[in-house]
Chain A
Amino acid sequence: MSDRHIISILLENEAGALSRVAGLFSARGYNIQSLTVAPTEDETLSRMTIVTSGSERVIEQITKQLNKLVDVVRLVDLTEGPHIEREMMLIKVRAEGSLRDEVKRLVDIFRGRVIDVTDAFYTIEVTGTGTKLDAYLETLPTGSIMETVRSGVSGIARGEKGLQV
């Protein structure tokens, strides 16, 4: 069984820390569906979110191997508890003639926003879970998508629990 897991990491904000994590995944043949990283309010720390999949044994190894990296300060597998996941997507879609209204209607249904407009194109911002973004893409008329940019997943645990030093 290969399950999807969201692993959230507090990482030392050091040069090379990102490549240690990325190198670990490629060297050991673990898969990465998405990886995001950015500094936090504490400038010595970065927050990284990795979406990966694998059997229970593989996920256990991934978390153990990540914990072994000296730059990894804290780590949690968000999928083990209640959590919120969000991903942002920017899409440039052909929106001419009759398509124009149709595309706008779909944006509203998915609670997205049109953030840039030309005669022929809308640029749209949609936020949600990965599945929601996939679903949105499915609804768009075939051939209408010019470009998509996805941020990769970030996640946080629900409630009062937090990942802290």
Chain B
Amino acid sequence: MELTGADIFVRCLAEEGVEYLFGYPGGAALHLYDALYTQDKVQHILVRHEQGATHAADGYARSTGRPGVVLVTSGPGATNTVTGIATAHMDSIPLVVFTAQVASALIGDDAFQEVDSVGITRPCVKHNFLVRDVRDLAVTIKKAFYIATTGRPGPVVVDIPKDITAHKTEYFYPETAVIRSYSPVKKGHQTQIKKGVELLLSAKRPMIYTGGGIVLGEASASLTAFVRELGYPITNTLMGLGSYPATDSLFLGMLGMHGTYEANMAMHECDVLLAVGARFDDRITGDLAQFCPHARIVHVDVDPSSIGKTVPVEVPIVGDADTVLQDMMKRVKASDTKPDSHALKSWWQQIEQWRGLKCLTYQKSDELIKPQYVLEHLYELTGGDAYVTSDVGQHQMWTAQYYKFEQPRRWINSGGLGTMGFGLPAAMGVQFAHPNDTVVCVTGEASIQMCIQELSTCKQYALPIKVVNLNNRYMGMVRQWQEFFYEKRYSHSYMEALPDFTLLAESYGHVGFKITKPSDVEGVLKEALGMKDRLVFMDFITDQKENVYPMVGAGKGHHEMHLAPCNAVVPTDRELA
């Protein structure tokens, strides 16, 4: 049977098992929207800004492992998705973003709402397509989903001119995508794996460092078993949190710029480092010249270009994290060499000494709400089992430090791009995917205002998200850097003219609480978490003088951490008034 491009589009999404399509209509997309109107397989979620659609699809993808899907119109609809696409690209999140385009005959004429969407998105996608013929539409969609979800995942953009959505052709959806130039590796090279295992077993001071690749590669169970088999210490990157249970004694917490003392010191002193699904970025390594100075490195990654990019590696292993870890496990179990228990014992003694410093201790207060205090209670009240999204800034780092994630896909944040405005729309995608679970968005008063319009989407679809706004009246993270590195010149980092967030939430039809006293923190959190069918916006008025510790300054070595949690030197609201 002949179908229009628009009907083919909807059929293909249904074939791919797409539950939700996050989108926003407009001229070039109208045939597509018409086709959506007359079907009930794919549910369209109307956001309030296209950036919100991409972050929502991203949150859906991060929390499920399935691709997030977006539909927007041409021109401004497409450009509004760029931040969200780049966010997904940096963290290797599978998205398929459909951008409508002006009619083929108008392309290149500066037509109304024309932009070169393929050109604009090229540097921040895994791949993109412009569909030139309706007969290519179905196969292009098949390829888009295949590319987005395999190998190292990532966003794929499909640009569809309006006339193509009206043209008709015979509908056929291929079972598989065949792309001769694209064949992701799964299995690691056995000789390399053997070398890697031998090196690991020869270690006196071993360390395991894993990242988002464990989450993306569904390798948590294999990793956990492997680490426990060896009894080696493990740390996670910001993107990897939850892929190894945070309460396990082998876990040293997060590493890097705001990592724990024990994790960073163990990195600095280790003699063999196993890295899996992590990419040695600058927030992890600090000064490359001082990074892991004593370590021989084994690096497992599905993307060969991640290996040896910033740090030289002795044993590179290209392969899917789960498959490689299982192969390594088999070899460890079969090996006659066992971990050097004597060396391991003294290594652990050293680590326990570092751990004994309790680097995450902060000064409690009866008067001012400490952000860490809110997060500790949030952790306890949710049993470490909530889906937690965050925006970008101090609150993000504190959440990573104080919320102990036990499972993968629970911690949803923009690590690579650091996109403020991510948290709330991402939480929407998570809540759609997990309607009966607790979804919390931890944010700051600056970040939340970047996509605050999505509170309206939350109302329309009755999403009972719990927003924890750690309101310090500063772009806290910017202010912290200005304090440390710009002699306390707080240039444009104070947030003036803030709205009353409780009234704002209420005007969108939600519940709003303002919390000013530490003694109210637990009660309000409890009450809010108990309101299963309402979005609750909790505006915590927090201590403005808190800084995130430990901190490895940009370009410093892991062993050069700022530790002593001293208060910030900063004018408070009262002093500024």
Contact = CB atoms under 8 A, between A and B. Distances in A.
Given A16-B118, A61-B309, A68-B303, A73 B180 contact: yes
A16 B130 contact: yes
Contacts of A12: 181
A49 B127 CA distance: 22
A70 B122 contact: no
B130 A15 contact: yes
A32 B312 CA distance: 25
A16 B312 CA distance: 33
A146 to B, nearest CB: 35
B511 to A, nearest CB: 45
B164 to A, nearest CB: 15
B181 A60 contact: no
B147 interface: yes
Interface string A5-24: 00000001001100110010
A35 interface: no
Contacts of B118: 16
B123 interface: yes
Interface string B296-334: 000000011100110010000000000000000000000
A154 B27 CA distance: 46
A64 B182 CA distance: 13
Interface in B102-158: 118-119, 122-123, 126-128, 130, 147
A68 B182 CA distance: 8
Interface string A45-76: 00000000000010011001101101111000
Contacts of B123: 23, 27
B136 to A, nearest CB: 11
Nearest to B122: A23
A165 interface: yes
B182 A57 contact: no
Interface string B154-190: 0000000000000000000000000111100000000
Q: Which of A27, A64, A65, A67 has the most CB of B within 10 A?
A: A64
B180 A165 contact: yes
Given A70-B147, A71-B181, A16 B122 contact: yes
B179 A70 contact: yes
Nearest to A72: B181
Contacts of A67: 304-305
A83 to B, nearest CB: 23
Interface in A74-115: none
A52 to B, nearest CB: 16
Q: Which of A23, A70, A71 has the most CB of B within 10 A?
A: A70
B165 to A, nearest CB: 20
A64 B312 CA distance: 15
A61 B305 contact: yes
A61 B304 CA distance: 9
Contacts of B128: 16
Nearest to B305: A64
A119 to B, nearest CB: 44
Nearest to A62: B305
B183 to A, nearest CB: 11
Nearest to B309: A61
B305 A68 contact: yes
A70 B312 CA distance: 26
Contacts of B119: 19
B182 A70 contact: yes
A15 B128 CA distance: 11
Given A70-B179, A70-B182, A165-B180, A65 B122 contact: no
Contacts of B304: 64, 67-68
20 contacts: A16-B122, A16-B130, A19-B122, A23-B122, A57-B308, A57-B312, A60-B308, A61-B309, A64-B305, A65-B305, A67-B304, A67-B305, A68-B303, A68-B304, A70-B126, A70-B127, A70-B147, A70-B179, A72-B181, A73-B180
Given A16-B122, A16-B130, 7 more contacts: A16-B128, A57-B308, A57-B312, A67-B304, A68-B305, A70-B181, A72-B181
